[in-house]
Structure 1
Amino acid sequence: MTRLRFVALGDSLTEGVGDPVENGWRGWAALLAPGLAEEPAEFTNLAVSGAQTRDVLERQLPAGLAERPDVASVVVGVNDTLRCTFDLHAVAARLDTVYAAFTGRGALLLTACLPDPGTMLGLPGALARPLARRQRAVNAVIHALSERYGAVHLHACEGDWITDRAMWSADRLHPGERGHRQLALRFHALLAERGAATGPAPSPEAELPAPTRSASLWWLATAGTGWVARRCADLLPQLLTLAADELRHHARGTTARLDLRTSAAVSAALASLSVAERADAA
């Protein structure tokens, strides 16, 4: 009997950062794999910390297709929002290509929308709100494309788990073991509803204690500052400009215009995909 093949693509979330095991990281996808079928799936994790949609398209997709998966997860996008090169049209086009490649080969696609990093890091409002708009825009694109390709889509940007510190690692950006287990459980439930998960659900019980507040503060005081600086070095000048624009609109009472601008960008990005598809069909 051929075992089900499951391949996971994405960034540090899927790589498993925040859920340490003896030889590195484990993560939600590895926790989910044994419950996809009565016999544990053949699992390949191609996710890499720091990956953007371009990395998934150019590097991870060819390797993922070579595995001939029955199930493929693609969870990515946060790192795109943390770059000065952020381009929603490009993000949408890359995800569309990746989703189409897997579903075109008959794989069941797993996707998720995610919380915005500014809120998770506790940045000041004027800095956090522009990042939140970017993440909402990426999430909106992922919602639409997930529906288009019949994906099993998890709304991970919602729910009590976001504000439950026990679910998160000391860095505040990656789930801890409990958070990864929660993601695996929620994906398993969605798959079970479709009859696509016939094995046991992952256990919600963590093997390690949740990080203490002092551990979180220590991370921020040591590794955390450097991590944020490395991730946001090229974004910071642009983010300060966005924050200034945010403050101007707030003072004038015209913040809604920024939200409308984001909604228009999402519509334009999705419309450009439809135009490209019609051109290809012709």
Structure 2
Amino acid sequence: MNTITAVDGGGGTVPGAAHGGDRAEERRTTEPVRFVALGDSLTEGIGDPLADGWRGWAALLARSLAPPVTDVEFTNLARSGALTTDLPAEQLAPALVLRPQVAAVVAGGNDTLRSGFDVDRTTRALDTVLGRLTDGGAVVLTACLPDPGTLLRLPRPLARPLARRMRAVNTVVHALSARHGAVHLHVADLPWTADRRLLSVDRLHPSAEGHHLIARGFHDLLTATGRPLGPAPAPESAEPPPGTLADLWWMATKGTRWVVDRSTDLLPGLVALAAAEGYARLRGTTDHQDHRMTTATTTALAALPPPPTTPA
């Protein structure tokens, strides 16, 4: 029987589900698998609702992280709106206390939506978190993320700066995943825009079906490493994608507040970025901004200290 206890980012305890066999004697002599998730709203589970909160891909994966005779202790520290710098500042210390054998670190999308985006700061924050968790003996799970401008169908002058930032974050995550030996899932490559059923009504977070797809993707990668696991998360029964009325209702009841909360910080910066994009386009130098971000990303990665060598 796999018993999962999920702890939300605010410290509340939410009882999880149990399934599997009843080999109690063997279970008592088997150390539970400790799984901790760090990140933002994607890992918190937004888009995959339960009666009293959110479930999400990490909780779905937790149910499959060990054979039926082994317990799984799952703690979700992810918080909606978290930036990469919030992970070492707020989530890393409680994660390390739990001594996880598996740790998920998925963040960076919110960084691209803030006016003060700094790829060097993002790089250093993620490197710190991945390094500390790996040094603690955890198998770390990472993911590259889809471009929010594309998901939200923003106009090109606004979408292109966001896409540039997301490419930079994903480049960093790819490099740091290799640096720390993380198990990396290419979430950005999943068919988010081709299959509307994978996105929730807000067009930014996965639907229940999308969260299941991410959980199964990580399960497949972990299976390939030879790690003993339980059965893969069962596919979510497909639901019709949200229609126009559902989209309008979400915007009227929740989306407007979401936009307003971010407009005070994001919109002025995006307007300036869009103006710069338009000016560059008129001058025929639209690739210059891309080159500057690429250079900044390369510089940020090159500035990291060498990883510690493992004694022979």
Q: TM-score, normalised by structure 1?
A: 0.94
Task: Tell me how large the CA RMSD over aligned residues is.
Answer: 1.6
Residue 24 in 1 paired to residue 68 in 2? no
State the partner residue of 1:187: 218
Residue in structure 2 matching 1:49, options 76, 80, 84 = 80
State the partner residue of 1:196: 227
Maintained 8 Å contact 2:37/2:105 = yes
Residue in structure 1 matching 2:261, options 225, 230, 233 = 230
Higher helix proportion, which one? Answer: 1
Matched residues in 1 for 2:241 and 2:133: separation? 36
Once the two structures are overlaid, the 10-residue window that deviates more, 82-91 or 5-14, is 82-91
Residue in structure 2 matching 1:166, options 197, 201, 204 = 197
- Tell me the CA shift for residue 161 of structure 1: 3.3
Q: Secondary structure at the match of 1:263?
A: helix
Matched residues in 1 for 2:234 and 2:290: separation? 40
Larger Rg: 2
Residue 240 in 1 paired to residue 271 in 2? yes
Maintained 8 Å contact 1:82/1:232 = no
1:130-141 maps to which residues of 2 (within 5 A)? 130-141=161-172
Maintained 8 Å contact 2:66/2:230 = yes
State the partner residue of 2:63: 34
Matched residues in 2 for 1:160 and 1:168: separation? 10
State the Cα deviation string for residues 200-221 of structure 1 (Å, max 9, x = none).
Answer: 0001123866533321222123
Q: Secondary structure at the match of 2:304?
A: helix
State the partner residue of 2:42: 13
State the Cα deviation string for residues 63-113 of structure 1 (Å, max 9, x = none).
Answer: 100110000000001111111121111110010000000000110000001
Matched residues in 1 for 2:190 and 2:134: separation? 28
Matched residues in 2 for 1:197 and 1:121: separation? 38
Describe the shift of the 1:269–1:232 C-alpha distance in structure 2 as closer, same or farther (beyond 3 A).
farther
State the partner residue of 1:4: 33
When the two structures are aligned, how many residues end up with a matched partner? 277
Higher relative contact order (CA 8 A, sep 6+): 1
1:1-282 maps to which residues of 2 (within 5 A)? 1-38=30-67, 39-206=70-237, 210-274=241-305
Once the two structures are overlaid, the 10-residue window that deviates more, 52-61 or 95-104, is 52-61
Letter of the structure 2 residue corresponding to residue 224 of structure 1: G
Letter of the structure 2 residue corresponding to residue 33 of structure 1: A
Unaligned runs of 5+ in 2: 1-29
- Tell me the CA shift for residue 120 of structure 1: 1.0
Q: Secondary structure at the match of 2:188?
A: coil
Letter of the structure 2 residue corresponding to residue 88 of structure 1: V
State the Cα deviation string for residues 119-165 of structure 1 (Å, max 9, x = none).
Answer: 11111100111011111101100000000000000111113234311
Aligned sequence identity (%): 56
